[in-house]
Amino acid sequence: MADKSENASNVMAFDALYTTNQIQKLKVLLPYIEPSMQKHLAVYIKYMELQYTMNLTKNHGAALSGCGLSQPEKPDLRKLCRELCLYSTPEEIRQLEQIQNMLQTLETVQEMSQTMSAMQEIFPDMNMDSLFENPLSGAGQETDTADRSKQTASTSSPMMDMLMNMLTPEQREMYEMFQQHPFDSEP
């Protein structure tokens, strides 16, 4: 729940930056105005906010501290997706969750790549491809991509088993999907 209030406070900070006390007072008074006049006052409040925002950005050029352009570090895209979920429809939430899962998978692949690079540095004479071949499958024999995919699907090496156990079920499913449909240059 703290996460929701933190994200709501980000929205309130934005609203506070681009408004005045006079506009905030009108917002407080809005429910007490005659219902037939409320819609007119609401439009007037938004007009005043727009006018104030245009003047503020023209004269001062204020920057928001949460924007990626003003920060040297890389933005946390998964956090951004979680924050957007608070204001999204169920369909949009599902799409944002898919993006979060994809980002998690990419991070896992990067970590695995870094691990493989470190292993290559530690064991420079070792052929990394041999770590992923089953010793019983004839590692020294030439095989085409389709045969190798079938071998991987039917039997695997201890290293491949270890790496597959590091994946979540969704990541494992994505990996298997890519194994079944490798990227070929042929149509």
pTM given for the model: 0.47
Q: Which two tokens stand for residue 25?
A: 């007072």
Per-residue pLDDT of 145-181, as tens digits, reads 445 444 444 456 666 777 777 788 888 887 777 777 6
* Low pLDDT (below 50) residues in the chain: 1-2, 67-69, 137-146, 148-154, 185-187
Query: What is the three-class DSSP state of 93?
Result: helix
Strand, helix or coil for residue 182 = coil
DSSP 8-state class, residue 29: H
* Rounded Cα gap, residues 133 and 146, in angstroms: 14
According to the model, what pLDDT value does residue 163 have? Answer: 75
The three-class DSSP label of residue 184 is coil
CA distance linking residue 62 with residue 18, whole number of Å:
10
- What's the confidence (pLDDT) of residue 78? 85
**What does the pLDDT read at residue 18?**
84
